[in-house]
Amino acid sequence: MLARERLRAGGDDLNQALVDRGVEDGVLARWTELDLQRRESLGVVEEKKRQRNESSKQIGQLKQAGEDADEQIAAVGALKKEIEALEQTIEGVETELETLELSLPNVGHESTPVGASEEDNVVVRTVGELPELGFEAAAHWDVGPELGVLDFERGAKLAGARFTTYRGLGARLERALANFMLDLHGRAGYVEALPPLLVNEASMLASGQLPKFADDAFRVENHGYYLIPTSEVPLVNLHRGETLDEDELPLRYTAWTPCFRAEAGSYGKDVRGLIRQHQFFKVELVQITHPEQSYEALEQLTTQAESVLQALELPYRVMALCTGDMGFTSAKTYDLEVWLPGQGAYREISSCSNCEDFQARRANIRFKPAGGKPQLVHTLNGSGLATGRTVVAILENYQQEDGTVRVPEALQSYLGGVDLLTPSDS
């Protein structure tokens, strides 16, 4: 969340920055009004407590002198009631302030393009040549079932729409991709983790999933746990409530986990294939850094995610997301979009973000510089990559006219030397 000091000092510039992020004009003014009310009320409470303490002292003095203290006792009783009423009011104001604060997204970094939607995103670079297949490309939702590696119908039978069953080499391919990516990131200094797939409400709140995305979350009734929407949630929360030593930074983590999302509000969008599922697998990258190094870390993290696409020889482009298309917690985001010839379009396969101290403030993650006071860290996250969408990219980019699919050379050893997916192999 944003610091209260920043909200107080922001003025018109901050208000415009929030409007650029989709916040209704006037929300900051309402927060300012409540904050002023709270601070004025606290001042009044402190004055009344001073008066109460003074009257209590007078009562003691009068009783010690054998004099009547009824007037002072009545005054203390009245002050007590006034203080209690004011404290109740302050509590209500504080609750509304916190509700507003939790609803406010992070503010875009000065280098983030200003815009309203994905149409305003900016192409940073395009990498790789688009494949010349020499025949009409098929989409993965046709290629996969024809190979026997993807079974959409049985996935739907087992769970419902937007669930898929992988079979044979399809299941092995996704597992091979995960091992390949984790090994690649491990060599780059990321520590592999295997976190819980269920997390508590505090973890969801700290990472920015709650309350904003409550409708997108799968909650376990009667237990208070949530299925993770991304392993970013547990990885960011590994150090929740901790003060780290400066020389521990940066911390880098990677994990491959299933992710669970209700996809509320996305009905009718990407209903075919693997692009938008309720359950999918993803390799995540998370960094916890010194504030002065976080934008350098963002470039490094993005490059690390790109290295997977480069090793698999998949064409892609890097997009700088505009203020209106960024995630809730992000100050700056790069999306990696892989080319899908079966759909004739680039589609997101990774999103790499610098959240600055937005999550750290919620999670209370700090570091102590030598000789200084504890400061909030910066947190970053990125997909490195979504393995299901990488399966999509391989099926569509490496398909051949006879219906077989070549296996990228870098991945063949992870599939026991298999270099071609054929119907007979599944």
Query: Do 6 and 376 contact (CB within 8 A), yes or no?
Result: no
By C-alpha distance, which of 285, 261, 283, 256 is closest to 195? 256
**Any bridge partners for residue 279, and if so which?**
260
Question: Which of the residues 219, 276, 317, 406 is marked catalytic?
Answer: 276
How many residues appear in the chain? 426
Question: Which of the residues 21, 389, 396, 426 is marked catalytic?
Answer: 389
Give the C-alpha separation, 258 to 266, whole Å. 20
Radius of gyration, CA atoms only, the chain: 27
What would the DSSP string read from start to end of 267-303?
A: TTSS-STTSS-SEEEEEEEEEEE-GGGHHHHHHHHHH
- Is 240 one of the annotated active-site residues of the chain? no
Give the C-alpha separation, 215 to 333, whole Å. 23
- Is 351 one of the annotated active-site residues of the chain? yes
- Is 261 one of the annotated active-site residues of the chain? yes
Question: Which of the residues 294, 330, 351, 426 is marked catalytic?
Answer: 351
Cis omega (within 30 of 0) for bond into 145:
no
Give the angle 28-33-36 at the CA atoms, nearest 5°. 120
Question: Which of the residues 21, 38, 52, 261 is marked catalytic?
Answer: 261
Question: Which of the residues 219, 317, 348, 406 is marked catalytic?
Answer: 348
User: Which residues are annotated as catalytic?
Assistant: 261, 276, 348, 351, 389
